[in-house]
Structure 1
Amino acid sequence: MTPLLTVRDLTLTKGATSYTFDAGTGLTLLKVARESGASTVSMAIAGRYKPVAGTIAVGDAETTRERFRSVALAGVTLIDSLERSVSVREAIREQVAWAQPFFSRVPKDILSHRLVEPWLEPLGLADLDPAVPVGDLHALDRLRLRVVLALISRRDARLLVVDDPDQLRSISLRDELLANLHDLSELIPVVVSSVNPDHAGIADAVIDLAHGKRATK
C-alpha cells in the first residue's frame, strides 16, 4: 500500500540528523528527541516550516505551500494557543467564519455546524459546553479543542498532525488523548509527535526518530 506521508532525508536545520520514514492510515506516533525545537518536525510535515534539505510528501502535496493547505496542525503553542477569556463558542465561531465563504451563515448552535460536529464525539467532546470560557476547560479538553479548531481551519485536510501531547504533564491524560486521536484516525489519518513512547500501545505504528526504529501493531 502506498504510504500517505513520505519523508526522505529530511534535515530540519544545518548539521542536524536527517530522517527518512513513511506513515500510512490510522494513528502514527513519532517519538522525537527531548530537545528544544522538537516541534519543528511537526511544523515541517504540516508546511509551517521549510527544512534545509530533504523531501516531504502528503499524497501529491509535496511543496511546503501545498502541505500548508493540506495538513491540519494542532498543539504547537506558538501557532494555536487560545485566549483563555473567550468562550468556547466564540473560539469555534471565529474559526468557522474564517473557514467558510464570507457570505455563509454561522448558526447559533455552533456545535452542530458541519465543520464542527463530526469531530466532537471521537475527541470526547460530545458534552462540550460552548458557553464555558476556554480558560475554565480542563487542560485535556483545551488541547482537544485545539484539535477541533485545526480541523475546522483545514476543511479538506488529508492529514492531522498533533504536536506535543506531553504538554498535558500526565501520562494517563496523554494516553486518553491518544485514545481519542486513535478514534479520530478512522476519519482522518493522524500523526502525533511526542518525546515519550507509546506505553499503552495505542498507536497503530510508532516511529522512533531518536533511535531510528519502527514498530507496528
Structure 2
Amino acid sequence: MLEIMSIHKADEINQLKKTKSGIITGKMELNIKINELPIAKTVKNGWQEFNVDCDGTMFTIKVKPKVWKKITTANEMYSMWVAVITGKLGAKINKGFRVEQPGIQVFEKKPKAPKPDKAQLQAQSQAQLQAQLAQSQAQLAQSQAQLQAQLQNQSHEQLDQSQEQLAQSQAQLAQSQEQLEQSQEQLKQSQEQLAQSQEQLQEQLAQSQAQLQAQA
C-alpha cells in the first residue's frame, strides 16, 4: 500500500515539474522537396546516399535501391517532377543532420502556362470584340435581308390581290354594260310597241268616227 502511494506521489511531482517549466514533448517530422536528380554515392548493400542543401543546412539521406529507382525513373520520364522526402531528424553531422526512416513520393509537375502580357491581352480582347462585331453585323445583314424578302413577298402578294380585284371590277363593269345594253334594247322594243299601239288606237278611233257620220 505504501509503495503505491509513493508511486502516485512521484507522478504528482513529475507533473508539477512539467507544469512549472511549461515544456511539453512533441514530434518533429521533416519534409524536403527536390526537383532535380541529386548526385548519389553507393554505400553498403547497394543503398544510395545523397545530400540536400536546405537553406544552408545539409541533410544526408540514404535510401534503398528501389526507392532510388523511383527518382531516376521520374527524371527519365518527366520533363518536370518533384520528389517529397519525409522522415525524422537523425544524428547531427558536419553542417547538418541525417534523415532517419526516409520516405519518398515522386510526382510529375505540370508546367504552368505563361501569363500573357498586357499587350497580348489587349490584342486578344480586340480580336474577340472584332469577331463579336462581325458576327453582329452578319446577323443584322441577315435580318435585313429576311425583312426585305418578306416585304417583297408581301408587295407581290398585295399586287396580285390588287390585279385580281381589278380584273373582278372590270368583269363586273362589262357585265353591267351588257345589262345596260339589254335594258336599252328592251326600252326600244317597248317604245316601238307603244307606237304601234297608238297607231292602232288612232285607226280604230277614225273608223268609229266614220261609222258615226254614216249613221247620222
Tell me the TM-score range normalised by the shorter chain: under 0.3
Structure exhibiting the larger radius of gyration computed from Cα positions: 2
> When you count helix as a share of all residues, which structure comes out higher?
2
Instruction: Tell me the TM-score normalized by structure 1.
Output: 0.15
Instruction: Tell me the TM-score normalized by structure 2.
Output: 0.15
